[in-house]
């Protein structure tokens, strides 16, 4: 039977500006996202004569109760959506070696979902163009389309509209250990992002758009110092972080950034 192994990297948000909230309840944002390959999940996907299924092998830092049900898993949703939309009758089994911490702001679930879409596209021989996969990805989650890209991106609207950016060179990004991550002002990590948005004071957000412009200029011109000087995240208005540490997504993962060979 056909099978495929695919790697699903984490992501870091170098900036997040929360510009406002629509009547629909969704928040309009702009963010600069990069892939962080040093932390990644590994997915093994293969055809099966049994029903579609998904299983996870958690790292020691991820407890089973954090994983939720199979039906709620974004990778499983990607599998079912791909099959239903494209009329695929063959069943598949998805096995995930989980290393990206759950509900961390690193996009692990979205990355897994995108990896499933890419893998099924190859295993079924459909070879759909990325634009068509992106339409499916948007139905799964706002962050999922980013993981179909190979470069950093500027994400706008609700995070699903992407503009590819140049690769960022000359900066080393490093995740801090989980025990040093801050405690978020939320009661339920399963609804972490929604609760973080609900806790925000929007009057304090969207005030650093000029910094985003400078960050984008630093990426375009290849100036790592200008990139480093303009990292920011409006969710940091809810937390008291140590100096020179940065929140990824809605947290709680934090990272550091240093310029390589500044002299």
What pLDDT score does 105 carry?
95
Q: Are 259 and 225 in contact (CB under 8 A)?
A: yes
**Three-class secondary structure assignment of 106-161:** CCHHHHHHHHHHHHHHHHCCCCCCHHHHHHHHHHHCCCHHHHHCCCCEEEECCCCE
Tens-binned pLDDT, residue by residue, of the chain (263 aa): 688 999 999 999 999 999 999 988 889 999 999 999 999 999 999 999 999 999 998 765 555 555 567 778 999 999 999 999 999 999 999 999 999 999 999 999 999 999 999 999 999 999 999 999 999 999 999 999 999 999 999 999 999 999 999 999 999 999 999 999 999 998 887 789 999 999 999 999 999 999 999 999 999 999 999 999 999 999 999 999 999 999 999 989 999 999 997 65
What pLDDT score does 69 carry?
75
At 239, is the secondary structure helix, strand, or coil?
A: coil
Cα–Cα separations (whole angstroms), residue 17 to 13, 42, 98, 154: 10, 31, 29, 11
Active-site residue, 11 included: yes
Q: Which secondary-structure segment (H or E) carries 195?
A: helix 192-199
Q: Which fold would CATH assign to domain 3-164?
A: Ribosomal Protein S5; domain 2 (3.30.230)
E strands of the chain, at which residues? 3-21, 27-48, 53-58, 91-98, 153-156, 161-164, 171-175, 232-233, 246-247, 254-259
User: Cα(123)–Cα(45) distance, rounded to whole angstroms?
Assistant: 9
* Domain locations along the chain: 3-164, 171-259
Pairing state between β 53-58 and 254-259: unpaired
**pTM for this entry:** 0.93
Active-site residue, 138 included: no
Q: Which residue in the list 11, 77, 98, 192 is annotated as catalytic?
A: 11
What pLDDT score does 227 carry?
98
Q: Which residues of 94-115 are buried (b: 16+ CB within 10 A; e: fewer)?
A: bbbbbbbbbbbbbbbbbbbbbb
Q: Which residue in the list 77, 143, 192, 234 is annotated as catalytic?
A: 143
6: β partners:
43
């Amino acid at each position: 039977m056909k099978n495929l192994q695919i790697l699903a990297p984490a992501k870091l948000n170098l900036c997040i500006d929360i510009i406002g909230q629509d009547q629909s309840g969704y928040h309009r944002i702009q963010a600069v996202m990069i892939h962080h390959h040093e932390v990644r999940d590994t997915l093994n996907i293969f055809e099966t004569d049994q029903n579609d299924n998904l299983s996870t092998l958690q790292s020691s830092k991820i407890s089973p109760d954090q994983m939720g049900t199979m039906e709620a898993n974004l990778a499983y949703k990607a599998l079912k959506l791909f099959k239903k939309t494209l009329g695929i009758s063959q069943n598949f089994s998805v096995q995930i070696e989980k290393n990206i911490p759950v509900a961390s702001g690193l996009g692990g679930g979205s990355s897994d979902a995108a990896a499933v879409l890419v893998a099924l596209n190859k295993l079924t021989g459909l070879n759909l163009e990325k634009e068509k996969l992106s339409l499916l990805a948007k139905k799964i989650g706002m962050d999922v389309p980013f993981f179909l890209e190979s470069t950093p991106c500027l994400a706008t609207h609700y995070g699903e509209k992407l503009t590819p950016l140049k690769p960022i060179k000359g900066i080393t990004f490093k995740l801090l250990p989980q025990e040093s991550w801050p405690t978020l002002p939320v009661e339920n990590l399963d609804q972490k992002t929604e609760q973080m948005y609900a806790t925000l004071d929007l009057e304090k957000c969207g005030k650093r758009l000029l910094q985003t412009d400078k960050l984008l200029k630093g990426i375009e011109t290849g100036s790592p110092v200008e990139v480093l000087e303009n990292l920011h995240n409006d969710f940091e208005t809810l937390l008291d972080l140590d100096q020179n540490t940065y929140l990824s997504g809605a947290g709680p993962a934090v990272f550091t950034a240093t310029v390589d060979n500044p002299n």
